[in-house]
Chain A
């Protein structure tokens, strides 16, 4: 009896986890349950559901059968215990922090984050009394030095946006463990195909499923996943998990739901009361996208390597920040944490500065100029004038989004076509800006 359960490969999980044939009709693909509400069996059943005392569906703001399939699938891919999905990655982050923090609490976050997360943490969260201290992650010990008694979490991106930076997950997880607080990893750019942060000691994972998981630029979404191994009761730091909840007639989430208590609380309190639910249609597109995640990621990576090597050798390019290149200072960390490849989002610097960045995004033809990553299409962006525009110059530099920086998200097109398009764009830009 004492043997671990059978482990399926990630390609199998990407297709099967959470999704069996529909029991009534036998429909093999997951149906879109396009419904807002669910009929109760009787008044007693309704009461039990509202009390969280039995399993079942009430209202699609809380749970929906299509969204549930996606939740189980991402939990399974990450090797976690449970997941709750939300309308976007930002919404998933909100659910995580609302479930962890009270006003006046603090958390640490890496300076190497998606610009939108930096803004969310430093401005909007600040208005809720959740105070974020940003930490340069190059030396993991910086996190230990920045800890305060009020810190309730450490938040990092393992493969950081806008690109090229890989964080040393293991020692950061050890610091969080020593402090008795959860390490939250945004695994959007790596995806569980490239890195499974729970295996390195993370406690909570968040995703923007909008990116590689959905994979086709069709559907907004986010996910919050818990490992199931964090001890919320250890030193009284998380009363929201261990004290009776007045919003649920004194129910204690950790006691009642154990190793999936965190996502249950995020769902039944934060999602219920703030309402950023994922739509069933978006869940359906995301489920479909995930089925091909492993084959897509292999192609994303081979294309990204080809493009990064090409840019590194180009006269107009000052530097390329891609951890898949041997010249990258993060190459060693990438080999450790991302052995299948360092993703397909990265940055490079133009010799021509800010103006050249602006011109290049307008000069390319195949690359779409837009603010997203993880699409089948190759994408290009000048962070300093877009995603990282709200930051100070200092924050932009710290985040790897200085004035001459261009971000690429390499898609699944023919690699030679991508090289030719960049070559003509770079040549034209150099001519016009010198």
Chain B
């Protein structure tokens, strides 16, 4: 995974309510690039999301047929037998286009509504193709960090969440 995209002339903005809706609607996530190595961010992002009640299905051709965090790993999206709500792209920006092609082949059959590219991953051209098929796209964000930001946990490490509200947060 590359570092965050800094030199980009057109920063990406996503409305908080939009991201909140995605994170509330989605239940099953296929994580492309999930690592079996517990020190890799993909592994502990997967673990975090599982802890929040999501089912996360790892996709990693090098690890297909074996389990990551007790979930069976598949070589590609088309190999997953179950329905998928969202694809989380834990690959480099250069590989995002290939993942998008794979999504476009199976999104109707699998029911994929959202493609979420990780922090540092952005491919505007791939996003246009996906959006053309009616798929919602988020880029250069981490669903774990956004979940933490929108539901209160990220504030615990001093991050400016941008959330201003006098409403009591539900537990």
Contacts and interface: CB of A to CB of B under 8 A. Distances in A.
A231 B14 contact: no
Contacts, number: 127
A255 B161 CA distance: 19
Contacts of A65: 156
B63 to A, nearest CB: 19
Interface residues of B, number: 44
B160 A82 contact: yes
B102 interface: no
Given A23-B168, A23-B171, A84 B158 contact: yes
Interface stretch (B44-52, B53-61, B72-80, B109-117): B44-52
Interface stretch (A53-61, A302-310, A421-429): A53-61
A4 interface: yes
B6 A229 contact: yes
A20 B169 contact: yes
A24 B157 contact: no
A148 B158 CA distance: 33
Interface string A1-32: 11111001000110011101111101000000
Interface string B127-166: 0000000000000001001001000111111111111111
Contacts of A53: 44, 47-48
B160 A17 contact: yes
B97 interface: no
A80 B159 CA distance: 9
A156 B107 CA distance: 54
A82 B168 contact: no
B95 to A, nearest CB: 16
Contact of B159 (A1, A24, A249, A260): A260
A183 to B, nearest CB: 15
A26 B148 CA distance: 21
A72 B153 contact: no
Contact of B3 (A8, A258, A267): A258
B169 A56 contact: no
A104 B148 CA distance: 38
A26 B39 contact: no
A11 to B, nearest CB: 12
A267 B162 contact: no
Contact of A258 (B15, B120, B165): B120
B41 A57 contact: no
A51 B40 CA distance: 11
Counting chain A residues whose Cβ lies within 8 A of the other chain, the interface size class is 35 or more
Contact of A82 (B47, B157, B169): B157
Contacts of B155: 18, 68-69, 72
Given A54-B44, A231-B6, A255-B41, A85 B167 contact: no
A1 B14 contact: yes
B158 A75 contact: yes
A264 B142 contact: no
A251 B39 contact: yes
Contact of B157 (A26, A48, A255, A267): A267
Nearest to B52: A54
A63 B156 contact: yes
A39 B49 CA distance: 21
A63 B48 CA distance: 20
Interface in A226-260: 229-233, 242, 249-251, 254-256, 258-260
Contacts of A260: 157-159
Nearest to B170: A23
Given A4-B13, A17-B164, A20-B168, A82 B158 contact: yes
Contact of A68 (B18, B158, B166): B158
A168 interface: no
Given A75-B160, A81-B159, A258-B3, 9 more contacts: A5-B15, A12-B164, A20-B166, A48-B47, A55-B154, A76-B162, A233-B3, A256-B41, A260-B158
Interface of A: 1-5, 8, 12-13, 16-18, 20-24, 26, 48, 51, 53-57, 63, 65, 68-69, 71-72, 75-76, 80-85, 229-233, 242, 249-251, 254-256, 258-260, 263-264, 267
Top-8 shortest CB links A-B: A71-B158, A53-B44, A75-B160, A55-B153, A233-B3, A21-B168, A82-B159, A231-B6
9 contacts: A2-B10, A20-B152, A55-B153, A63-B157, A68-B158, A72-B160, A75-B158, A76-B162, A255-B41
Interface of B: 1-4, 6-7, 10, 12-16, 18, 39, 41, 44, 47-48, 51, 119-120, 142, 145, 148, 152-171
